[in-house]
Amino acid sequence: MTDQRARGLFYRSLPSPFLATVALVLVGLIIENSTNAYTQDVVLWIFTNIILAVSLNLVSGFTGQFSLGHAGFMAVGAYLSAWCSLRPEFQALPDPLRFTLLPAIGGLGAAAAGYIVGLPSLRLRGDYLAIVTLGFGEIIRVTLLNTEAVGGARGLNRIPATEGWLEIGLSPYLAQFSIASFWTVLTITALWRIVHSQKGRIFLSVREDEIAAEAMGVNVTQAKVRAFVISAFFAGVGGSLFAHSVKYLSPATFSFTKSVDIIIMIVLGGMGSFTGSVIAAIFITLIPEFVLRPVQEITKVDLRMVIYSLILILFMIMRPAGLLGTREWNDFAWVKRLQLILSRLLNREAKDDSSNTPSPSEVS
Amino acid sequence: MNDEILLEAKKVGMEFGGLKAVDGFDLQLRRGELVGLIGPNGAGKTTCFNCLTGVYKPTSGEVIIRGVNIRGLKTYEVSRLGMTRTFQNIRLFKELSVLDNVIVAGLQHARQTVMDDVLRHPRHYVEEARMRERALELLRIFKLDIKSDQPSSSLPYGEQRRLEIVRALATEPRIILLDEPAAGMNDKETEDLMHLIAQIRRDFRLTVLLIEHDMRLVMGICERIVVLDHGCIISQGTPANIKSDPAVIAAYLGVDEKSAEVT
């Protein structure tokens, strides 16, 4: 491939994440003007859950390492960024800068935790790794519970949130929505691009067969630690967004159950499908709030968990590989046809969205 | 230079608990040689392979590959010394496409960073295209390029074996270890495989060590054969010598101690 051709592809890959963020913010504008405050909060949780599910999928779905400690990384990110934003020194920074960067701080803290946990434990396989990560999650929770600096069992209260960026016409909610969309798009773009590249193939090879990967010169432990650290970073980002949308943190939130919730999302969506994780995260956030709660109001019996469990069981019986298996949105024939038609309409060479491998015609 | 020793095993021994799977295994592979390692079931052939490739840490002895003692090296580091292998029970990356299987093996020669991938830097596209082209070229030689987009698990058995060899070649090895490449193949497929091994050895200037049960294959292409039984080398030499060596016949066909009568 010529350098010019590669540069062209690079420029074409630039705008789509920004366009996606802008499009999401427009959706936010509609939501703000058409729904109540409660629904608006639920929508923010969707972003957090998408980030958590997609990042766990990198480790469990694409690299094949079963982790039960994702809530632990989320907790590190949430507490670290909340603690930072409560510091007076930090509050001197301008609002947009402060709240846009906070998730990165949470992410870095969680990534460091991921490195410390991952390095010794990722030599383990399967069940053993699951137990270690489970233990790690509990250690984090108990440590937070006993650390007075972050409120101990009382938790952290009155976490500040953005006050809106009125200069550019964004209300507090829309500003928060924009930050969440920005980080969600960033997470998905980064992880998608990593998986659809050389490093991603290494992760997949580790999932498929560690012994063969090692024999082909793949440093398996390094690959696992990398996947773990990247995943923890984004879990921390998710934790930070969570902290600043709920504005209250308690160690109980980050129990083992939270990790399982995220696992359910990726299993339902399909291990090894980002698209599936996104869809599952959306539905799993919405269903308890907008389907099961009204049902409960009609029947006057709290059947939410019963119905929820039943759905899970039925789903696993009928579709054990999850909603999409390992397929992504652009693996479906009708999407491919649509892309082809679109590209013909735009009168240019067949080219997928920013992130995909070049089509054969581009390579030759 | 033709006598350069690429792989040397000195008195390699491997014990599992009290069981000596391999004992005092000596081997010298010179550049360009094609050596067969044979022996009855359970003789310790695959254990030898695992010691040579760093999967097992030998309990005694040393393995030197291209001048480097592999003691303490990880399997992937041994592989990066230029020695690769195939597996007795096929170990492809099943859900990856045929092409991706080959690309993964070439990745130690990739030049871009994670950030290049995330930012979709021009380097990403250049490297991606280069790896792809390289893999396709290899696949073309083995007539697997038309199937490059299929998942590797969908290939018929013989092609899976072939793909394993292609994948091994993508690491750009100097030495290749083939663990029973003809296992489960019919006569026709074995015949093709013989030509294939001879061909890759010539075209890629490889040194080959071959474990095999199929006598026809071993006798047909190997220049030198090492026979292993109960973890010990019982004979080595040219195929003609091996065929007539009573120790080998005894190991393979069994022998009655008193009368030496072949059963």
pLDDT tens for each residue of B37-71:
988 888 888 899 899 998 889 999 999 999 899 98
Query: Among A256, A286, A315, where does a domain finish?
Result: A256
Average confidence (pLDDT) over B78-94 = 91
Q: In what order do the strands lie in the sheet with B68-69?
A: B19-30, B5-16, B60-65, B68-69
Average confidence (pLDDT) over B135-147 = 92
For chain B, the DSSP string reads -TT-EEEEEEEEEEEETTEEEEEEEEEEEETT-EEEEE-STTSSHHHHHHHHTTSS--SEEEEEETTEE-TT--HHHHHHTTEEE--SS----TTSBHHHHHHHHTGGG----HHHHHHT-HHHHHHHHHHHHHHHHHHHHTT-GGGTTSBGGGS-HHHHHHHHHHHHHHT--SEEEEESTTTT--HHHHHHHHHHHHHHHHHTT-EEEEE-S-HHHHHHH-SEEEEEETTEEEEEE-HHHHHH-HHHHHHHH-B-TTT--B-
A360 and A218, same structural domain?
A: no
A298 within some domain = no
A291 within some domain = no
CB atoms within 10 A of CB A300: 7
C-alpha Rg value of chain B to the nearest Å: 20
Which positions in chain A touch B76 (Cβ < 8 Å)? 214-220
Of the candidates B76, B123, B125, the beta carbon closest to that of A214 is on B76
Query: Among A256, A286, A307, where does a domain finish?
Result: A256
A361 within some domain = yes
A354 and A224, same structural domain?
A: no
Give percent of chain B above pLDDT 90.
39
A71 and A192, same structural domain?
A: yes
pLDDT tens-place string over residues A128-168: 998 999 999 999 999 999 998 888 888 898 888 888 888 88
A248 and A360, same structural domain?
A: no
A131 and A26, same structural domain?
A: yes
Residue in B closest to A7 by C-alpha: B122
Is A214 close to B91, i.e. CB distance below 8 A? no
Please report where in the chains the tokens 């091996």 appear, as a residue: B242
Which 3 state secondary structure label does DSSP give A165? Answer: strand
Which positions in chain B touch A212 (Cβ < 8 Å)? 87, 91-93
What is the pLDDT, as a whole number, of residue B144? 92
Q: Which domain holds residue A349?
A: 339-364
What is the pLDDT, as a whole number, of residue A287? 85
A84 and A218, same structural domain?
A: yes
Interface size, chain A vs chain B, as Cβ–Cβ contacts under 8 Å? 131
What total of structural domains would you count in chain A? 2
Q: Which amino acid is at A221?
A: T
What is the pLDDT, as a whole number, of residue B2? 56
Query: Cα B128–B131–B135 angle (5° rounding)?
Result: 135
Give the HSE-up count for residue B44: Cα atoms under 13 Å, Cβ half-sphere.
Answer: 26
Please report where in the chains the tokens 């291990």 appear, as a residue: A271
Q: How many angstroms from the chain centroid is the CA of residue B256?
A: 35
Q: Which two tokens stand for residue A265?
A: 């999302």
The answer, for A218 touching chain B at a CB cutoff of 8 Å, is yes
What is the pLDDT, as a whole number, of residue A11? 86
Average confidence (pLDDT) over B84-107 = 92
The answer, for A194 touching chain B at a CB cutoff of 8 Å, is yes
* Cα distance between residue A231 and residue A118, in whole Å: 11
Is B75 close to A215, i.e. CB distance below 8 A? yes
What is the mean pLDDT, run by run of 10 residues, along chain A of 364 residues? 83 88 92 90 94 96 92 96 90 86 95 92 84 93 92 88 84 92 96 91 94 92 93 97 93 91 91 94 88 82 78 86 85 86 70 44 37
A324 within some domain = no
The answer, for A168 touching chain B at a CB cutoff of 8 Å, is no
Domains defined along chain B, listed by start: 1-82+173-263 (3.40.50.300), 92-170 (no CATH)
| Residue B257 pLDDT level (bands cut at 50, 70, 90) | low
* Cα distance between residue A177 and residue B241, in whole Å: 80
| Residue B255 pLDDT level (bands cut at 50, 70, 90) | low
A347 and A201, same structural domain?
A: no
The distance of B134 to chain A (nearest Cα, Å) reads 11
A275 within some domain = no
What is the pLDDT, as a whole number, of residue A144? 93
What is the pLDDT, as a whole number, of residue B135? 93
- The sign one gets for the Cα dihedral B135, B141, B142, B145 is positive
What is the pLDDT, as a whole number, of residue B256? 56
pLDDT at B258 over 70: no
Query: Among A222, A256, A290, where does a domain finish?
Result: A256
Average pLDDT of chain B is 87
The residue of A199, A201, A202, A228 whose CB has the most chain B CBs within 10 angstroms, and thus the best one to mutate to test that interface, is A201
pLDDT tens-place string over residues B223-246: 899 998 888 888 888 888 888 888
A102 and A237, same structural domain?
A: yes
Of the candidates A9, A14, A215, the beta carbon closest to that of B79 is on A215
Could you give phi then psi for residue A144, rounded to 5 degrees?
Answer: -60, -40
* Cα distance between residue A92 and residue A84, in whole Å: 12
A231 and A353, same structural domain?
A: no
A21 within some domain = yes
Which 3 state secondary structure label does DSSP give A170? Answer: strand
Report the candidate in A206, A54, A191, A195 with the shortest Cα–Cα distance to residue A125.
A206
Which positions in chain B touch A202 (Cβ < 8 Å)? 104, 107
Is B129 close to A358, i.e. CB distance below 8 A? yes
Q: Which two tokens stand for residue A157?
A: 């209260």
What is the pLDDT, as a whole number, of residue B220? 84
* Cα distance between residue B204 and residue B3, in whole Å: 18
Record the pTM: 0.89
A285 within some domain = no
A350 and A245, same structural domain?
A: no
A213 and A354, same structural domain?
A: no
* Cα distance between residue A125 and residue B100, in whole Å: 24
Which positions in chain B touch A215 (Cβ < 8 Å)? 53, 55, 75-76, 79, 84-85, 87, 91
